[in-house]
Amino acid sequence: LDIWEEGATIHIPIIENHAHIPTLGENFRKHIQGDSGAVLIRNHGITVWGRDSFDAKKRLEAYEFLFQFHIKLLSIQGGVSNGANSYS
């Protein structure tokens, strides 16, 4: 992700998972120019991109690590009851 400073913040847009693919695509397209390289699709998962397949895989692995860390942190703090969509 090329973010090395302590206390950095990452913003990942979350879009609705529309059954109407053109609507989903339009909502996704709005965020493809962003610097995060990722969009979360509600009740579906993450979509990532990068300069090439290696960069995209690196981003996916980094986000996966960050999400797992955040869920563990929330569970320690009592903010996750079942591990899925239960953040406080």
Domain ranges of the chain: 14-77
pTM here? Answer: 0.70
50: exposed, middle or buried (Cβ count in 10 Å: 0-12, 13-18, 19+): middle
Which pair of tokens denotes residue 87?
Answer: 């953040």
What pLDDT does residue 34 have? 54
What does DSSP assign to residue 32? Answer: T
User: 3-class SS at 41?
Assistant: strand
Digit-by-digit pLDDT tens for the chain (88 residues) are 667 788 888 888 999 999 999 999 999 888 887 556 899 999 999 999 888 899 899 999 999 998 999 899 999 988 766 555 444 3
Q: H helices within 1-88, ranges in order?
A: 21-29, 53-77
